[in-house]
């Protein structure tokens, strides 16, 4: 590589960063485990890879960037259409995380409002018309604007639909999550409970 770069009059490389090496992990297939077909809508390669590992189809949305300028409405519309053919559709939006990494609370608020307006709201309305449903909204991890880094700790989730009873929370935030009567010690416990009608009441 360096010989070619020297010949072309370019600066030579001084370091090599080997990223993502290793063996492909083996994960249980979602449909075999839960009896439900799934699909993922995301612009993030890591999430596309996880979807492939569990046997979910990946749905591409034009203008989905994995950044603050992503096509929120397109993701919402694609999810509504996908729910005609899939039992579970995961819509991943990276924008709030990116805003946090940049320390931009104003952009994080805008991203959350866009998610509510163009994704959660329209999907919920479509599901109300379709009959029995469940919807789950959650971040994958905390990214405080104050630190600009991923952190550990409770993440809030909101869910409603068949078999879900309200805990009367009026807000959706980390403080409410820490006080909720419905909690999971480990994040991986949420999906089996949500899928298998064993959600705490």
Question: Going from the N-terminus, what domains does the chain have, and what CATH number goes with each?
Answer: 26-195 (3.40.720.10)
pLDDT digits (tens, 9 = 90+) for 37-81: 999 999 999 999 999 999 999 999 999 999 999 999 999 999 999
Give the C-alpha separation, 108 to 136, whole Å: 20
Place of tokens 């009026």: 170
Name the β-bridge partners of 134.
161
Is 72 in a helix, a strand, or coil? helix
C-alpha 7, offset from chain centre: 45
- With beta carbons less than 8 A apart as the criterion, state whether 118 and 73 touch: yes
- With beta carbons less than 8 A apart as the criterion, state whether 170 and 180 touch: no
- β-pairing verdict for 38-41 and 134-137: unpaired
Is 193 in a helix, a strand, or coil? helix
pLDDT digits (tens, 9 = 90+) for 137-195: 999 899 999 999 999 888 888 999 998 887 777 888 878 888 888 888 888 999 999 99
């Amino acid at each position: 590589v360096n010989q070619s770069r020297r010949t072309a009059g370019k600066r030579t490389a001084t370091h090599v960063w080997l990223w993502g090496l290793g063996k492909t992990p083996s994960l249980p297939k979602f449909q075999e485990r839960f009896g439900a077909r799934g699909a993922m809508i995301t612009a993030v390669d890591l999430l596309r890879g996880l979807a492939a590992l569990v046997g979910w189809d990946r749905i591409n949305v034009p203008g989905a960037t994995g950044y603050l300028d992503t096509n929120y409405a397109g993701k919402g519309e694609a999810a509504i259409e996908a729910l005609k053919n899939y039992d579970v559709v995961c819509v991943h939006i990276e924008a709030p995380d990116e805003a946090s990494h940049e320390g931009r609370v104003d952009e994080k608020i805008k991203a959350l409002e866009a998610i509510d307006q163009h994704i959660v709201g329209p999907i919920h309305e479509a599901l109300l018309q379709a009959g029995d449903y469940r919807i789950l909204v959650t971040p994958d991890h905390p990214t405080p604007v104050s630190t600009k880094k991923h952190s550990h700790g409770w993440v809030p989730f909101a869910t409603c639909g068949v078999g879900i009873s309200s805990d009367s929370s009026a807000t959706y935030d980390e403080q409410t999550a820490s006080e909720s009567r419905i909690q999971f010690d480990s994040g991986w416990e949420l999906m089996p409970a949500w899928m298998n009608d064993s959600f705490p009441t």
